[in-house]
Amino acid sequence: MKRTGRTANLPAASAAADGVTEKMKNMNELPFNLFLIGFMGTGKSALASCLHRQYHMELVEMDEKIAEQEGMSIPEIFEQKGEPYFRDAETALLRALGTKKGAVVSCGGGVPLRECNVEAMRQSGKIVLLTASPETVKKRVSGNRNRPLLRNRESVESIRELMEERRPRYEQAADLVIATDGKTVEEICGELIRRLQDEK
Ligand code: S3P
């Protein structure tokens, strides 16, 4: 899978996710999809890659798919076609994903802002919200030019402001919330699997 350099810079760890039973190793057999939502830099792409690598879940990286479909990068889509065009592409893609099962979908940070997107996700899966402090987000996204909404608003205060504005939408959409500050991607992955097991 082609990487676009958008993955949040989470600390890496080599240990496999611990405490995970054999049964849960076949995550690709889940009868529903997992939609990862959250602010930019909360680690959705990193967690989705981990679930793909370690649990063989089909991986759908929404931004990557849309960029591929359009033949241009996300910043180029925003510049040349405008944000509403990009948001419509997100909605169309989410609806198309409704036919899948057992996939992990790394959603763009703006996906839960449209109620119809939240409905589409609920119809085929569980919605997992990843959170991080504005300070952590700043560290993870700094220097990355692929996020048009963070251009000229990379300060902790600007990040906090946009995050607070979006927080109610994220929280209303979520079936499960995982805080990611100070955790490795493997720890987050293990925590998610255990939370899913506990729900059973
Ligand atoms: C956006 C988040 C980005 C990307 C686009 C808009 C947002 O994805 O979809 O730049 O509105 O929060 P990531 O959350 O994966 O960075």
What pLDDT is stored for residue 22 in this prediction? 56
Architecture of domain 27-199: 3-Layer(aba) Sandwich (3.40)
Is pTM, for the whole model, over 0.85? Answer: yes
Report whether residue 190 contacts ligand 1, using a CB cutoff of 6 Å: no
pLDDT tens track for 3-36: 344 555 554 443 344 445 555 566 767 889 999 9
pLDDT computed for residue 186 by the predictor:
96
Going from the Cα of 23 to the center of ligand 1, the distance in angstroms, rounded, reads 33
Among residues 129, 116, 158, the alpha carbon closest in space to that of 36 is found at 129
To the nearest whole percent, how much of the chain has pLDDT over 70?
86
Indicate if ligand 1 lies below 6 Å from the C-beta of 149.
Answer: yes
Between the CA of 127 and the centroid of ligand 1 the distance, in Å, is 17
